[in-house]
């Protein structure tokens, strides 16, 4: 049984303010919670339907402090999804790890605003073996429910940190900083690439900000194959995937 106070507390975690106060976040749905259990991460609270609990009690009780049975209606009250799916877990926020700059790429996100885009970028990074993402302080919250859902579990494997990216990039010395510039960048399909570096991804509506642009040492561009006018730009997560695909293909690392 879930109490009224618990319903209120868990619902409040939709808002960043309450998530940050408690230093927790929420993960939902059978598939992602399954990944949590397999990754053996410690879970504070699981709220789940009777069926889910019956099927998963052995595995779930090993890593979970508290398991609460909820009805479909109660799950709907605490969920951020329009159609909640059997189970919701509350976890401690993940500590930021040290960034590994050597022999890999680090993604730097400059003001990504859409949680779905951030989540998809994390999933893309995970697919391409990129272990570190640094977000500017005005990037959307990693723990926004929509971000977490769109990572499809990749938040477990990619180290996401928030920093003053101007300071961080200014302090790097002799380290390649790639960034997409619509005009006069090197064609990503034709340019030689370094074995390590930063890849900056600009925001959905404004691209890379005027403060950050001058720090780019290796301007790149994704050429369009459109025969006519074509679109002005690509979505941020789409641009990320094309760049990561091309970098990794060429360097095979």
Nearer CB in complex with a second copy: 61/187: 187
User: With CB under 8 A as the contact rule, which of the stretches 9-17, 18-26, 64-72, 227-235 interacts with a second copy?
Assistant: 227-235
Helix (H, G, I), strand (E, B) or coil at 15: coil
In the block, which residue shows the tokens 């990754």?
39
Verify binding: residue 97, a second copy, rule CB under 8 A. no
Give the nearest distance from C-beta 148 to a second copy in angstroms: 14
Among the candidate windows 51-59, 165-173, 175-183, 231-239, which touches a second copy by CB under 8 A? Answer: 231-239
Which two structure tokens, joined as six digits, stand for 160?
């996401």
Q: How many residues bind a second copy (CB under 8 A)?
A: 36
82 touches a second copy (CB under 8 A): no
**Which of 126, 133, 136, 142 touches a second copy (CB under 8 A)?**
126
Backbone Cα Rg of the chain: 20
For residues 193, 151, 59, 97, the Cα torsion angle rounded to the nearest 10 degrees is 50
- According to CB under 8 A, which residues from 164 to 223 bind a second copy? 189, 222
Residues near 232 by Cβ (< 8 Å), separated by ≥ 6?
Answer: none
The answer for residues whose C-beta is within 8 angstroms of residue 150's C-beta and 6 or more apart is 115, 116, 118, 119, 120, 122, 123
Interface with a second copy, residue 61, by CB under 8 A: no
Is 128 an interacting residue with respect to a second copy (CB under 8 A)? yes
Q: According to CB under 8 A, which one of 14, 113, 157, 218 is a site residue for a second copy?
A: 157
Among the listed ranges 66-74, 84-92, 127-135, 165-173, the one in contact with a second copy (CB under 8 A) is 127-135
Helical residues (DSSP H) of the chain, grouped into ranges:
4-12, 16-22, 30-39, 50-63, 72-78, 115-127, 145-151, 165-170, 236-251
Check residue 231 for interaction with a second copy (CB under 8 A).
yes
Measured between alpha carbons, how far is 1 from 221 in angstroms, rounded to an integer? 55
**Shortest Cβ 223–a second copy spacing (Å):** 9
Cβ-contact 146, 80 below 8 angstroms: yes
Which residues in 134-153 contact a second copy (CB under 8 A)? 150, 152-153
Cβ(43)–Cβ(64) under 8 Å? Answer: yes
Q: Is residue 94 close enough to count as binding a second copy by CB under 8 A? A: no
Residue entry with tokens 């951020």:
80
> 44 vs 249, which CB is nearer to a second copy?
249
- 57 vs 234 by CB, closer to a second copy: 234
How many Cα atoms are found within 13 Å in the side-chain-facing hemisphere of 133?
32
Q: Under the rule (CB under 8 A), what is the footprint of a second copy?
A: 116, 120, 123-124, 126-129, 150, 152-154, 157, 189, 222, 224-235, 237-238, 241-242, 245-246, 248-249, 253
């Amino acid at each position: 049984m879930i109490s009224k106070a618990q319903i209120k507390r868990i619902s409040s975690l939709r808002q960043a303010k309450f998530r940050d106060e408690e230093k927790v976040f929420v993960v939902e749905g059978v598939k992602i919670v399954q990944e949590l259990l397999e990754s053996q991460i410690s879970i504070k609270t699981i709220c789940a339907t009777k069926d889910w609990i019956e099927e998963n009690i052995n595995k779930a009780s090993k890593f979970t402090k508290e398991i609460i049975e909820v009805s479909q209606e109660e799950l709907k009250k605490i969920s951020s999804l329009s159609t909640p799916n059997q189970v919701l877990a509350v976890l401690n926020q993940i500590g930021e790890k040290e960034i590994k700059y050597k022999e890999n790429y680090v993604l730097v996100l400059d003001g990504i605003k859409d949680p779905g885009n951030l989540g998809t970028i994390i999933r893309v990074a995970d697919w391409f073996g990129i272990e570190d993402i640094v977000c500017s302080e005005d990037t959307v919250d990693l723990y926004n429910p929509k971000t977490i859902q769109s990572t499809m579990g990749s938040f477990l494997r990619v180290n996401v940190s928030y920093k003053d990216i101007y300071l961080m990039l200014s302090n790097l010395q002799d380290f390649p900083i790639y960034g997409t510039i619509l005009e006069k960048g090197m064609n990503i399909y034709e340019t030689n690439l370094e074995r390590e570096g930063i890849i900056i991804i600009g925001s959905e509506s404004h691209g890379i900000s005027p403060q950050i642009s001058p720090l780019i040492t290796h301007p790149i561009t994704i050429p369009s194959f459109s025969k006519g006018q074509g679109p002005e730009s690509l979505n941020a997560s789409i641009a990320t995937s094309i760049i990561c695909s091309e970098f990794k293909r060429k360097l095979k690392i």
